[in-house]
């Protein structure tokens, strides 16, 4: 039988999963739609050597993680136990206030993966002054202390961690650094992690304050942007900095499913390709010129696909 999704997406399970999931867990998965595209400020740098040098690397994680008293972070930490690779966080690592006490709850779950984790901050991390507990907990795995933005190479991919809780508009040090970092990089494929999603059908809605960072990423041909903030999973088609469909845009994955209380949501954006409300983690398999993704919950993989990088 011919592959219904074409050669670019040999494993598009999403359209077959509704019968296996409860309505609360599976709100919408809109087909396969894995269309491919043929086609000098000071620099915060990662304080370690590149974390992989082979042709294939794995990046796995989520945002909105540890909430003391909630079982979700234990659920997703157990999923991580079964998945190799470099772990990322997409912000709001320790609820409710990003305090040292809150990070003790993180330590009891995702903390066992701290040695392979690169972190990104969220707004709840900044409820402690200057996100001090966040920077102290993650140390060098959060980039230069106090900045919250940095980059590293992962096999054939350049990975950028951005900070949507500090100035990021025109004239900001972060935007100037991002442009310079993208210009310097010789790694062809780019993934970025930023807590606030540009667009979202979740209850927090859109975040236009990140638009200039998105513009810099799209102008440089970035491929993947990973966010959190809304406590659900949502995959969008490639979009530009205005949130409009664009073949040369970046594909947005909102993965606010790391363990905090989930947000019920039934609406969809015109760019939404998949939406799931369940605790889980996303895994990216990064290859030269291409990537695959699969979103894991306790029910198994509930969204998967593949695409080319620019």
Task: Flag whether pLDDT at 186 surpasses 60.
Answer: yes
Q: What is residue 55's predicted lDDT score, i.e. its pLDDT? A: 87
| Residue 197 near residue 163 (C-beta atoms within 8 A) | no
Mean pLDDT computed over 263-270: 90
Using alpha carbons, select from 28, 26, 71, 19 the residue that is nearest to residue 272: 28
Using alpha carbons, select from 168, 186, 97, 104 the residue that is nearest to residue 137: 104
Task: Flag whether pLDDT at 11 surpasses 70.
Answer: no
pLDDT band, very low/low/confident/very high, at 28 (cuts 50, 70, 90): very low
Residue of 148 and 17 predicted with greater confidence = 148
pLDDT band, very low/low/confident/very high, at 54 (cuts 50, 70, 90): low
Gap between the Cα atoms of 104 and 3, Å rounded? 47
Q: Which residue has the tokens 């664009």?
A: 246
Q: What is the DSSP string of 218-259?
A: HHTT--EEEE-SSSSEEEEEEE-TTS-B-TTSEEEEEE--SS
Over residues 85-131, the pLDDT tens digits come to 999 999 999 999 999 999 999 999 999 999 999 999 999 999 999 99
Q: What is residue 45's predicted lDDT score, i.e. its pLDDT? A: 43
Gap between the Cα atoms of 243 and 106, Å rounded? 33
Q: What is the pTM of this model?
A: 0.85
Task: Flag whether pLDDT at 247 surpasses 80.
Answer: yes
Mean pLDDT computed over 141-146: 97
Task: Flag whether pLDDT at 228 surpasses 60.
Answer: yes
Gap between the Cα atoms of 124 and 309, Å rounded? 32
Mean pLDDT computed over 235-253: 97
Q: Which residue has the tokens 């999704």?
A: 5
pLDDT band, very low/low/confident/very high, at 265 (cuts 50, 70, 90): confident
Pairs from 176-183 (Cβ < 8 Å, separation ≥ 24) = 176/41, 177/41, 177/42, 177/43, 177/44, 177/149, 178/149, 178/213, 178/216, 178/217, 179/216, 180/40, 180/41, 180/43, 181/43, 181/151, 182/216, 182/217, 182/220, 182/222, 183/220
Task: Flag whether pLDDT at 174 surpasses 70.
Answer: yes
Mean pLDDT computed over 54-77: 95
Over residues 191-200, the pLDDT tens digits come to 999 999 999 9
CA 198 to chain centre: 12
Task: Flag whether pLDDT at 35 surpasses 90.
Answer: no
Task: Flag whether pLDDT at 254 surpasses 50.
Answer: yes
Using alpha carbons, select from 233, 227, 167 the residue that is nearest to residue 195: 227
pLDDT band, very low/low/confident/very high, at 43 (cuts 50, 70, 90): very low
Task: Flag whether pLDDT at 8 surpasses 70.
Answer: no
Structure tokens belonging to residue 298 = 């306790």
Over residues 121-133, the pLDDT tens digits come to 999 999 999 999 9
How many other C-beta atoms are found inside a 10 Å radius of the C-beta of residue 221?
A: 17
Q: What is residue 282's predicted lDDT score, i.e. its pLDDT? A: 99
Q: Which residues contact 256 (CB under 8 A, 6 or more apart)?
A: 62, 63, 64, 90, 92, 202, 227, 228, 229, 230, 231, 232, 233, 263
């Amino acid at each position: 039988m011919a592959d219904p999704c074409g050669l670019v997406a040999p494993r598009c399970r999403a359209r077959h999963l509704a019968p296996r999931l409860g309505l609360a867990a599976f709100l919408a998965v809109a087909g396969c739609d894995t269309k491919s595209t043929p086609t000098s400020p000071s620099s915060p740098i990662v304080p370690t050597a590149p974390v992989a040098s082979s042709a294939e690397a794995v990046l796995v994680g989520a945002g909105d993680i540890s909430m003391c008293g909630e079982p979700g972070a234990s659920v997703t930490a157990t999923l991580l136990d079964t998945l190799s690779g470099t772990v990322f966080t997409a912000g709001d690592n320790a609820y409710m206030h990003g305090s040292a006490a809150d990070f003790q709850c993180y330590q009891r779950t995702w903390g066992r993966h701290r040695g392979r984790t690169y972190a990104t901050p969220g707004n709840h991390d900044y409820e402690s002054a200057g996100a001090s507990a966040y920077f102290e907990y993650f140390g060098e795995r959060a980039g230069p202390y106090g900045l919250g933005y940095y980059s590293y190479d992962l096999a054939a991919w350049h990975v950028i961690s951005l900070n949507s809780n500090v100035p990021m508009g025109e004239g900001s040090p972060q935007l100037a650094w991002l442009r310079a970092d993208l210009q310097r990089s010789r790694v062809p494929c780019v993934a970025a992690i930023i807590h606030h999603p540009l667009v979202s059908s979740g209850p927090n809605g859109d975040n236009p304050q990140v638009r200039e960072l998105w513009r810099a990423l799209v102008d440089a041909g970035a491929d993947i942007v990973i966010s959190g903030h809304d406590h659900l999973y949502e995959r969008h088609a490639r979009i530009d900095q205005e949130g409009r469909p664009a073949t040369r845009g970046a594909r947005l994955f909102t993965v606010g499913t790391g363990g905090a209380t989930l947000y019920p949501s039934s609406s969809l954006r015109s760019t939404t390709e998949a939406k799931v409300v369940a605790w889980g983690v996303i895994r990216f398999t990064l290859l030269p010129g291409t990537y695959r993704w699969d979103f894991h919950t306790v029910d198994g993989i509930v969204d998967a696909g593949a695409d080319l990088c620019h």
